[in-house]
Structure 1
């Protein structure tokens, strides 16, 4: 039995996802809904998460899309990165239930890609993507993770494939719309440099592709497609100010 399947059985019998209405949704995630859901999310996931308060509600909201990750120890580490986030195994324990994972968050201020300036739903979408990596790691042996790591740093094609795997995990778990919002904001709203834009396009699906794939998931469930944002994105996105 895989590690992820093991953790599903650990969910409280009475647990009902308080943010279930956002799965496979076209709605912006309301921060007041997340605040109301925090007691239930803390009960299920909180003891396994080491996370600064500034990110904790958003990480827990993202975990609501991955109930099988209960019991998986995740630490948020703040450090400079070339991108907004990166998820990595923190150890290679032979027993999978002993594994831990770090999600590195770039929170250096005065950058156009300052993650804390992103819209609330887009921030959650980035965590949803990184948890897609964690869900993938949980299904792989130590040998496979070592191979993946070496391939990721040495082969461009494999790097793109690796990021797409995380996106497909987020899509299949119902969080694709929020990954789309993050990717769309980065490429179309954040004022990123040409170099960073080329990096994003070389390694990740575009926002347009993510929305297309999310709509495929909705169609399979008998739901109507989500529409792209209005031309005036300020009517859709509500960027938050950086938190000091």
Structure 2
């Protein structure tokens, strides 16, 4: 296990194991302090962010965290600790894709990213699609696909949550196309905005 990996308020051993396994496929993150935390979140089920501390200002020293919640409207219907492994790993892979996307951003770039994500839906859409693409590039195509299918087809999820998934994230067909292109070309093609 990555010595830089830390858990906060995560009691389910299988989630710790699955996160460590997923993180192992991201060698560019192995030297980084990474936290998996269970916290109360109002609008998200899972999110990836840099830790705001003194290391935030130096890319080489920056810490990152992946937070997940059991206290949102969505998790009344979908409890992370009860999901199938493939779905949880796909979700973790997506969040780690965000962290890979953050690695080369200077602190000012991270602040601009946060503002863009919060205030412009197109910026948010591009960031979510990049995270999916990075996860597929790291070998998690089937897991990303399983996560999307589970969430879209889960009968009890609120309609607005499914609408948000369709608006901001890659569709199942786009993920299939990425996987096929990657297998054919050996490298990840760029996502073309339509």
1:178 pairs with 2:138: no
Aligned to 1:50: 6
Q: 1:190 to 1:88 in 2, by over 3 A?
A: farther
Q: Is 1:154 aligned to 2:154, yes or no? A: no
Kindly report which structure 2 residues correspond to 1:15-26, keeping only aligned pairs within 5 A, or say none: none
| Aligned pairs, number | 177
Distance 2:62 2:20 in 1: 19
Counterpart of 2:37 in 1: which secondary structure? Answer: strand
Give yes or no for the alignment of 1:61 onto 2:21: yes
1:165 aligns with 2:130: yes
Asked whether the 8 Å contact 2:50–2:56 carries over to 1, the reply is no
* 8 A contact 2:58–2:107 mirrored in 1: no
Which contiguous aligned blocks of 4+ residues in structure 1 show a shift greater than 4 angstroms? none
Answer yes or no: is the 8 Å Cα contact 1:108–1:114 preserved in 2: no
| TM-score of the superposed pair, with normalisation by structure 2 | 0.84
User: Residue 128 of structure 1: CA displacement?
Assistant: 0.5
Matches within 5 A, 1:105-120: 105-108=68-71, 111-120=76-85
Residues 166-205 of structure 1, C-alpha deviation per residue, up to 9 Å, x if partnerless?
1111111111221111111110135311111111112111
Q: Which has the higher contact order (CA 8 A, sep 6+)?
A: 1
Which runs of 5 or more residues in structure 1 are unaligned? 1-41, 222-244
TM-score (norm 1): 0.68
- The residue matched to 1:111 in structure 2 has which SS? helix
**By percentage of residues, which structure has more helix?**
2
Identify the match of residue 199 of structure 1 among 161, 164, 180.
164
Matched, 1:85 2:46: yes
> Is the 1:77–1:104 Cα contact (8 Å) retained in structure 2?
yes
Q: Which runs of 5+ in 2 are unaligned?
A: 187-194
CA distance in 2, matches of 1:172, 1:137: 16
In the TM superposition, what is the alpha-carbon distance from 1:53 to its structure 2 partner?
Answer: 4.6
1:188 matches 2:153: yes
TM-superposed deviation, 1:146: 0.8
Query: What is the CA distance between 1:163 and its match in structure 2?
Result: 0.5
Q: Which structure has the larger Rg over C-alpha atoms? A: 1
Cα distance in 1, alignment partners of residues 78 and 157 from structure 2: 7
